Structure 1
């Protein structure tokens, strides 16, 4: 009986010692991003050549925070897809894309934001992402990394026979294609409309005739270096801009000059931008627009 009592006393001492070690370990443990913030991914989707990751961020620190800073992935700590490719990223809290953004957060407040990875791997096999970012907050004396792994990537792009939008909140519709003769030369007018579903009024919404990265091209391989764009189909310029109200639409006509009579389809990209709004891609892309739409 005495031996059993000694055994129990020894066991109690071991357990007490282990419990003290655990308390010490918890006390010495460095806080992590998830101790102060809760990030949820709401969408991860390809937009043109890029990948946009939308998220919500909740302050669970129990304090009002005058400044929270998030940085995208850097050369020292990069995002990675399931094929092993690594990427930098930019970030936005609703304005332009930046390497680093700052905001205040009240106790319990939830905000929305997005990461953007440009030139994401074109292979359809790249279908998951490990998102890496940095966070700092002086009020919490915190500076550390965040990571969310195996985010599923959606791909709803139109990559042939249609229009690939430059933003998930913009919807483009091809309305008609008309062939004309102006000053003895053949031109083609592509009339389309854009619907603003972003939830915001877009200030200085601009569409330019063409892009810096490519020239319009037909199926014979001919490239076109002379093009313009218009609101009304009469007054053509190199670029047009307006205030595109939320839930409203605007019609445009893009014109190519000196069109090859043997052309049957056309590909072209139009540069698109707006003040203080983070589009997922810099161009709206038109693919394989057929001559069957042409009306003489």
Structure 2
């Protein structure tokens, strides 16, 4: 599961603490907010003229809280738990309109790029349901994940064949932010179900897959420790399990992977000649 970041805080909505992107509640008055890790009170900080992004500062914080660093200044506070009165619970119902923007804990990520993408979605003119679909797609969940499973015909890692679904992430091949439209972002052919450690390398273009005949075989960046990679079940030359993919999806999948491989080659200074 992925870790909470300070792009999110907890807010009392309809009597329950829910995770909310910080930017979605700027300007609201009276809502109770707390740190998603230590549960201390937080205050929202608006975007600064110097380009500083919106964030939250702890009013009171636990020194051990990993989200404790404020932005732009050093503050030392002792932790004080947030107390919620009955009236606070009743008043929180007025923020029901924020429910479509709430995030499940399983969807919150520790990835600066992804946080930026989610913020971008929140500022679009898409409907709430469309925003939800795009956010889910960005974090490898929801409709996108189901479409990836359908295309591959299996809920196992396409490289290691690991069947433990809690370990699997639906990774975009053509990066979410580079997709031309929602159709590409939700396209199951534009995805591979991979174990988290493999998905991390793939998302950062540290590995890719090159078409060899009718197979797509793993390529590693030259500076990766091959012995360590092998211990993690990541071996250069291993083929993706594309056997259950239909012909049309297979061809389209190859186009997406060519895009990924080109970026891999550029980032890793591969000789294209």
Q: TM-score, normalised to structure 2's length?
A: 0.23
Q: TM-score, normalised to structure 1's length?
A: 0.22
Larger fraction in strand = 1
Larger fraction in helix = 2
Q: Considering only CA atoms, is the larger Rg found in Structure 1 or Structure 2?
A: 1
| Structure with bigger RCO (C-alpha 8 Å, 6+ apart) | 1
